[in-house]
Amino acid sequence: MLYQKTTQSMIAIFAMLVAVTGSVHAESAAPKLANVTILATGGTIAGTGASSTTTVGYTAATVGVQSLIKAVPELAKVANVTGEQVFQIASENMSNEHWLTLAKRVNVLLAQNNVDGIVITHGTDTLEETAYFLDLVVKSRKPVVLVGAMRPSTALSADGPINLYNSVLLAASPEAAGKGVLVAMNDQIQSARDVSKVNTSTLDSFRSSELGFLGYIQGGKPFFYRQSLRKHTTETEFDIGALQSLPQVDIVYGYANMNPVAVDAFMAAGAKGIIHAGVGDGSLAAKVVPSLKAARAKGAIVVRASRVGQGILARNGEANDDQLDFVAADTLNPQKARILLMLALTKTNSTKEIQRMFYTY
């Protein structure tokens, strides 16, 4: 009798244990995956070549988003992935209007509870510009990750699939939240503000050079080591919600024997801002100064940037910015200075205020 009772209690305890450990097992077997939306815009990551050895002279933007997703079944292990084809273009054709459309879509999606992060597939040529634009106008702390590829999808050792996998796992990871718009290329995590394409063709073309990249993606996990201190996303003053267009801002490139033709032509075409990508620390050739002064006198904002690619553009260094009423680009390269100036001009025409923005973002 005693033996029977003991056996019954043991069976009951065993059943309880099975129930408990069974439920623990069920949970760990099916962890809740984040919902990541891939917005495809074209580029080499969606490109195809004539053969597996075609790594130049291929056609960008030919493969649709569903095929990109299908080509990497491993994505399903790191996130619930959905795809949208927003554009299908080579990124040299990216325009202000494309940016506004894309940013508005990103903001709508990130406001939804069923979207945890966004990946944007993009051509590498202007990827850094789209990334910085989004960094300034996305109104969410949820991860937004841009990704491209240096080799078309048909190439031997194409980098698109691994880059896409890394970008999705980054967009799905809580560590990526609140760090601004990120770029995932070549196993590295870069910040939108500091990254640039610095090589025409190699796999490690995306670098943040002196300011440094943020971390690595290794073994299916992101590892962060640093973060940009410049304000971004939810901390910016820019709101593109009601904007249909952006002010015209153009870039003039500095070189020996530079002439003022480009400045005058951009002004005649209605420019509201000129980025002067000067030599060295943004020096101004004497021949060009009268045209830049005339541009400012007509109300355009002139920003001195540098074509060098690294370093701080010193305010009142190679030119007297206070006297000329010009703005110094700080560490932004000319193409990113153009983006910040366009957005700044949607808020103010004051050079003082715009200079503040260049030291803030």
Catalytic residue positions? 44, 124
Instruction: Find the part of the chain contacting ligand SIN (CB under 6 A) among 121-129, 232-240, 281-289, 291-299.
Output: 121-129
With helix as H, strand as E and coil as C, how does the chain read? CHHHHHHHHHHHHHHHHHHHHHHHHHHHHCCCCEEEEEEEEECHHHCECCCCCCCCCCECCCCCHHHHHHCCCCHHHHEEEEEEEEEEECHHHCCHHHHHHHHHHHHHHHCCCCCCEEEEECCCCCHHHHHHHHHHHCCCCCCEEEECCCCCCCCCCCCHHHHHHHHHHHHCCHHHCCCCCEEEECCEEEECCCCEECCCCCCCCEECHHHCCCEEEECCEEEECCCCCCCCHHHCCCCCCCCCCCCCEEEEECCCCCCCHHHHHHHHCCCCEEEEEEECCCECCCCCHHHHHHHHHCCCEEEEEECCCCCCECCCCCCCHHHHCCEECECCCHHHHHHHHHHHHCCCCCHHHHHHHHHHC
**Is 124 annotated for ligand binding?**
yes
Answer yes or no whether residue 60 interacts with ligand SIN by CB under 6 A.
yes
**Is 121 annotated for ligand binding?**
no
Instruction: Find the part of the chain contacting ligand SIN (CB under 6 A) among 123-131, 153-161, 275-283, 310-318.
Output: 123-131
**Is 125 annotated for ligand binding?**
yes
Exactly one of 124, 173, 196, 228 binds ligand SIN (CB under 6 A); that residue is 124
Site for ligand SIN in 131-170 (CB under 6 A): 148, 150
Closest approach, Cβ 132 to ligand SIN, in A, equals 15
Site for ligand SIN in 234-293 (CB under 6 A): none
Answer yes or no whether residue 55 interacts with ligand SIN by CB under 6 A.
no
Instruction: Find the part of the chain contacting ligand SIN (CB under 6 A) among 76-84, 117-125, 178-186, 303-311.
Output: 117-125
Answer yes or no whether residue 123 interacts with ligand SIN by CB under 6 A.
yes
Mark the binding-site residues for substrate, compressed into ranges. Answer: 91, 124-125
Site residues (vs ligand SIN, CB under 6 A): 43-44, 60, 90-91, 123-125, 148, 150
